[in-house]
Amino acid sequence: MRKISDTIARLAALKPRDPGSSGNLGAPDRLSALTGFGSNPGALNAKFYLPDDLPEGAPLVVVLHGCTQSAAGYDHHSGWSQLADEAGFALLYPEQQRTNNPNLCFNWFQPADVKRDAGEALSIRQMIEAMVKAHSLDRKRIFVTGLSAGGAMAATMLASYPDVFAGGAIIAGLAYGSAKTIPEAFDRMRGHGSPSDEELRRMLRDASPHRGPWPRISIWQGTSDQTVDVSNAKAIASQWWGVHQIQTAPTHTRTEGKNTRQVWRDASGEVVLEVNIIAGMGHGTPIDKNGYGTPGPYMLDVGISSTQEIARFWEIADGEARPSAGSKRRDIVVYSPPPIGTQSNAGPRMPARSPEVSTAPKREASPASGVQKIIEDALRTAGLMR
């Protein structure tokens, strides 16, 4: 275990600069509040968006914002509601509260919040059910995506409720079950100490009684991400190889501009997994300001609209995403897996301010002991815990 002082220093960097900030980034709010959706054990808020004249049987996309962000801010900067207007699907935005997490992070590293039918995971499941019933949406076309802590929570929802989702997209996120404590969360983000491939697959299989068919998964990661190490993309992909019964080597690889896309097909020829590695991109959601989305904190204009590409991967939006200006496309078939996330990162690094984890105590938190108690006592002294 790393030194306690190091862990406390990293935790202290997470203290919100402005506790009163909504995380909206001044963005226009196109979303409506969803209330009365269930017992809400995770104490989350919920927002939604419905295009005009949405027909019965439309798809539903669940979008999970990153830390320091709001539902409205993420919607504006990602362009999801703009695409929903054009393609005809509903949107659901679970939203974190500061009383749960001072930095508005979904608590992907808290065991009580990531289990099926418990905590934040159950709150999100209840929101989905309320939306489906209220707006006659298609239960066979429900999808989930998220950035960073929201990406890790998207991985949680896909693992805990694979019977609910047809597909998912994890942007700069982490594999389900990869961390169960705050120190572990920091280590996993930095690319240290991830569970073995076999353990990751076991945790996915054990997360629910479901045995298939499984959701199709899209993974997005920048090579220059200083918050969530690129190696986490491989960990997520490895976790899903087992349930999809696919080879570790991708079926197909395509490089277009900054993006290298690896694709895996199952025995029937269906695409069930893709990994998009974007050269030189830092921590955030890739957008194209000339297409869908608006640049902002953690919303990065790299000339690639992940929103459009993800919806196309799920087959709920038509058309090819436009290539970036001056990009060159190469299609190759490969027979051994190119390394996902093997770039040298000049050793361990700690971001000056990580938006991934926070330390607010949660509903009915269990008593801490040993090293964890020492950490929490120090955090209370620093004003980071109550």
Catalytic residues: 148
Cα angle value 257/234/189 (rounded, 5°): 100
User: Tokens 């960990």 sit at which residue?
Assistant: 235
> Is the Cβ–Cβ distance between 182 and 205 less than 8 Å?
no
User: Tokens 């899903």 sit at which residue?
Assistant: 240
- The residue type of 336 is S
Beta bridge partners of 64: 146
Between the alpha carbon of residue 306 and those of residues 55, 234, 345, the distances in Å are 25, 18, 24
Q: Is 119 left (phi over 0), alpha (psi -120 to 50) or beta?
A: left
CA atoms within 13 A on the CB side of 310: 30
Name which of 188, 161, 187 is nearest 174 in CA terms: 188
Gap between the Cα atoms of 261 and 340, Å rounded = 10
- The residue type of 4 is I
Gap between the Cα atoms of 131 and 59, Å rounded = 11
> Is the Cβ–Cβ distance between 141 and 104 less than 8 Å?
no
